A and B are shown apart, each in its own frame.
Chain A
Amino acid sequence: MTATLLDIRKLSVDIARGRRALRVVNDVSLTVEPGEAVGLVGESGSGKSMTAFAVMNLFPSPLARVAAGQVVLNGQDLTSLPADALRRVRGAQVGMVFQDPTSYLDPLMPVGRQIAEPLRAHGRTDGIDARVLELLDLMELPQAVAVARKYPHELSGGMRQRILIAAALAMKPALLIADEPTTALDVTVQAGILKLLTKLRRELQLGILLITHDLAVVAETCQRVNVMYAGQIIEADAVGPLFKAPRHPYTQGLLASILSPASRAHSLFSIPGGVPIAGQWPSGCRFHPRCPIARPGVCDVLAPELVARGSGADRCHLGGEAVAADAWRTEARSGTRP
């Protein structure tokens, strides 16, 4: 039995706001096994991206920091590493790709050299060119030699993202973190990238942490999924059981909001209200103002814990009860305010 690749334990991330700190990621725990794709799903303000940045301690803002918890990669706690040791881990043991490929590529450098950069940064001196070509082949880019010489603006969006994935995997890391890797791409291009990620996962035993807002993408690519809302994980499960029988009302609502072939405008489903603003979370369960089965005196007072149930876990006071199995239908089908 192989050891867990990534083990995030009770992670909290704070953003400094004047003298106070805003906790945008609250007590998050999740794991990724080698060769497994785990989805981290949430909407804006859920804290999913911040969780991903916390793994490598690479926050886009200097005001953000890991406030509590541990990130254990291959048995090593990254949060306790000094800066230079962490730099050796980045790129070598964990790679990351982001949402908009264009902004992460240097427009003035041929892409072959950009793929080679992590190799050079980690001290490798020979065999670089061969490795670059090997990676371009792995990314299914035809005419690797010609492509390596091109500049980013000469490539399409999908090809640019493949270049970034190649750079992320240059040092053969065991874990790849992908933050909305296909959101900025066309749907046909997205399909290609997702297929590529699946192929890489299988061939290289690559562990993938996939952050996205798109549940359909998770269904196609991941084995397990964690759903985040307002900084917390509110449900975690294997994909099959989660899509078939979601336990948390928010997950149920999200799934019901997906536009399907049967959707028609007059009967579209939407979760009423909006995502709460960071720092102004409702008391008790953070979802309770929008929840159809919220129980007064319980859900608005007590913050629910993540409780293991069946093959996964959920954070709902009524999680085990029958009423939660189909929370939205139990609410009378009155003209729900859009």
Chain B
Amino acid sequence: MNDATSDVMTDARVPLLEARAVSRLFPVRGSGGLFRAKQMQRAVDQVSVAIHPGEVLALVGESGSGKTTLGRMLLGLTAPSEGAVLYKGQDIAARAGDAARTFRREVQVVFQDTGGSLNPRRPIGQSVALPLRHNLGLDERTSMREVDALLDQVGLPPAHFRSRLPHELSGGQRQRVGIARALASKPSVIIADEPVSALDVSVRAQILKLMFELHREKQLAYLFITHDLGVVRAMADRVMVMHQGRVVETGAADTVLNTPAHAYTRQLLAATPVPDPSRQQR
């Protein structure tokens, strides 16, 4: 059932969010001239990925692997140069009106907390309210009630937090706000781009546990984009390994991490430091 070297997972379930042979090209700076065509580089090269309802898929790679670009294409933030992204079977570029709004509502994102994912001038309650106001079209009063409920759900007492500015919160708290915002329009899939990499070690597990509980409660599907194999082990059902724009290995998380088939995956596993001093080189 599981062909580790093919790019597409054959599966009986209907995929929720899917990329079919997508590529993202960008011109190489300095190439090309008056009579020469500009050279194009492929940040993402003919990649196919499918996320099924309720599953947790991890997208693993280092810098330059194209994982963030692929995430942006799946969110509809960047248009693919080749191929198509489909949501519930329909090309998102072709969606219009209600169908487009449905996509916007049901596919949400949690960014890495670098301080840039929340508007620095908005109280966080208002940032969480944005999807409620725009994706769901709720009015002010209803939105604020929903915001309180969401903040409660992620462990931030609303009375205290709803009017705080982002810089007044710790990294872990900001990430909870990001999760609350992602949950606001009741999505069916959340794309999490390095959700815990910028957080303190003692706080990472708190956020991952929160995300896992939400996944279980609401049957949320996740796409975890990460370079941290520990996160993959803890959270993912399936994993896709990317290297320089292409998928090099894909399969069930346990299988890939315990018996990696591709040399690059093995390299990644070998390079990950292990908290065991007895393994130090002599």
Chains A and B touch each other in the complex, with CB atoms below 8 Å apart = yes
Interface residues of A (CB under 8 A from B): 43-44, 157, 186-191, 194-195, 198, 213-217, 219-221, 239-240, 243, 253-255, 257-261, 263-266, 268-272, 274-275, 337-338
A190 adjacent to B275 (CB under 8 Å): no
CB-based closest 6 A-B pairs: A259-B230, A270-B205, A265-B212, A216-B273, A191-B271, A186-B62
Complex CA gap A221/B274 in Å reads 11
Does B44 sit within 8 A of A, measured CB to CB? no
Tell me whether A243 and B277 are in contact in the complex, defined as CB-CB below 8 angstroms, given that A187-B272, A191-B270 are known contacts.
yes
B206 adjacent to A188 (CB under 8 Å): no
Give me 19 other A-B pairs in contact (C-beta within 8 A), A44-B171, A259-B233, A274-B170 excluded: A186-B63, A187-B62, A187-B271, A190-B271, A190-B273, A216-B275, A219-B277, A240-B278, A243-B276, A257-B202, A257-B205, A259-B204, A259-B230, A260-B275, A263-B230, A264-B233, A268-B208, A268-B209, A338-B206
B209 adjacent to A263 (CB under 8 Å): no
Chain A interface main SS type: helix
Question: Which chain A residues border B229 with CB–CB below 8 Å?
Answer: 187
Q: Of the candidates B228, B234, B281, which one forms a contact with A268 in the assembled complex, judged by CB atoms under 8 Å apart?
A: B234
A265 adjacent to B209 (CB under 8 Å): yes
A259 adjacent to B271 (CB under 8 Å): no
B272 adjacent to A274 (CB under 8 Å): no
Does B200 sit within 8 A of A, measured CB to CB? yes
Q: How far is the CB of B79 from chain A (nearest CB, A)?
A: 27
Complex CA gap A275/B202 in Å reads 9
Question: Which chain B residues border A271 with CB–CB below 8 Å?
Answer: 202
Question: Which chain B residues border A265 with CB–CB below 8 Å?
Answer: 208-209, 211-212, 234-235
Question: Which chain B residues border A268 with CB–CB below 8 Å?
Answer: 205, 208-209, 212, 234
Question: Which chain A residues border B278 with CB–CB below 8 Å?
Answer: 240
Does B259 sit within 8 A of A, measured CB to CB? no
In B169-215, which residues have CB < 8 Å from any A CB?
A: 170-173, 200-213
Q: Of the candidates A198, A214, A240, A269, which one forms a contact with B277 in the assembled complex, judged by CB atoms under 8 Å apart?
A: A240
Give me 27 A-to-B residue pairs in the complex whose CB atoms sit less than 8 angstroms apart, sorted by A's number: A43-B201, A186-B227, A189-B62, A215-B275, A216-B274, A219-B276, A220-B277, A220-B279, A221-B280, A240-B277, A243-B275, A254-B202, A255-B275, A257-B202, A257-B205, A258-B201, A260-B233, A261-B257, A263-B233, A265-B209, A265-B235, A268-B234, A270-B204, A270-B206, A272-B206, A275-B200, A338-B209
Tell me whether A260 and B230 are in contact in the complex, defined as CB-CB below 8 angstroms, given that A188-B267, A219-B275 are known contacts.
yes
Complex CA gap A337/B235 in Å reads 19
Complex CA gap A190/B267 in Å reads 12
Complex CA gap A189/B63 in Å reads 11
Does B128 sit within 8 A of A, measured CB to CB? no
Complex CA gap A187/B62 in Å reads 7
Complex CA gap A119/B149 in Å reads 62
Question: Which chain A residues border B202 with CB–CB below 8 Å?
Answer: 43, 253-254, 257, 270-271, 275
Question: Which chain A residues border B203 with CB–CB below 8 Å?
Answer: 270, 274
A198 adjacent to B272 (CB under 8 Å): no
Question: Which chain A residues border B205 with CB–CB below 8 Å?
Answer: 257, 259, 268-270
Tell me whether A213 and B271 are in contact in the complex, defined as CB-CB below 8 angstroms, given that A187-B227, A266-B212, A338-B209 are known contacts.
no
Does B231 sit within 8 A of A, measured CB to CB? yes
Does B89 sit within 8 A of A, measured CB to CB? no
Q: How far is the CB of B153 from chain A (nearest CB, A)?
A: 11
Q: Of the candidates B212, B227, B233, B271, which one forms a contact with A261 in the assembled complex, judged by CB atoms under 8 Å apart?
A: B233
Complex CA gap A189/B209 in Å reads 29
Complex CA gap A264/B268 in Å reads 20
Does B155 sit within 8 A of A, measured CB to CB? yes
Question: Which chain B residues border A195 with CB–CB below 8 Å?
Answer: 281
Complex CA gap A198/B273 in Å reads 14
Number of interface residues of B (CB under 8 A): 44
Question: Which chain B residues border A275 with CB–CB below 8 Å?
Answer: 170, 200, 202
Q: How far is the CB of B226 from chain A (nearest CB, A)?
A: 11
A258 adjacent to B272 (CB under 8 Å): no
B170 adjacent to A220 (CB under 8 Å): no
Q: How far is the CB of A322 from chain B (nearest CB, A)?
A: 24
Q: Of the candidates A220, A264, A270, A272, which one forms a contact with B273 in the assembled complex, judged by CB atoms under 8 Å apart?
A: A220
Q: How far is the CB of B277 from chain A (nearest CB, A)?
A: 4
Question: Which chain A residues border B280 with CB–CB below 8 Å?
Answer: 219-221, 239
Tell me whether A258 and B279 are in contact in the complex, defined as CB-CB below 8 angstroms, given that A265-B208, A268-B208 are known contacts.
no
**Least CB separation from B258: chain A residue:** A261
Q: How far is the CB of A150 from chain B (nearest CB, A)?
A: 15
A215 adjacent to B279 (CB under 8 Å): no
B204 adjacent to A263 (CB under 8 Å): no
Q: How far is the CB of B28 from chain A (nearest CB, A)?
A: 14
Question: Which chain A residues border B63 with CB–CB below 8 Å?
Answer: 157, 186
Tell me whether A258 and B277 are in contact in the complex, defined as CB-CB below 8 angstroms, given that A338-B155, A338-B206 are known contacts.
no
Q: How far is the CB of A146 from chain B (nearest CB, A)?
A: 19
Question: Which chain B residues border A188 with CB–CB below 8 Å?
Answer: 62, 267-268, 271
B277 adjacent to A187 (CB under 8 Å): no
Q: How far is the CB of B264 from chain A (nearest CB, A)?
A: 9
B171 adjacent to A219 (CB under 8 Å): no
**Least CB separation from A250: chain B residue:** B202
Complex CA gap A149/B270 in Å reads 33
Question: Which chain B residues border A240 with CB–CB below 8 Å?
Answer: 277-278
A213 adjacent to B201 (CB under 8 Å): yes
Complex CA gap A261/B257 in Å reads 9
In B58-88, which residues have CB < 8 Å from any A CB?
A: 62-63
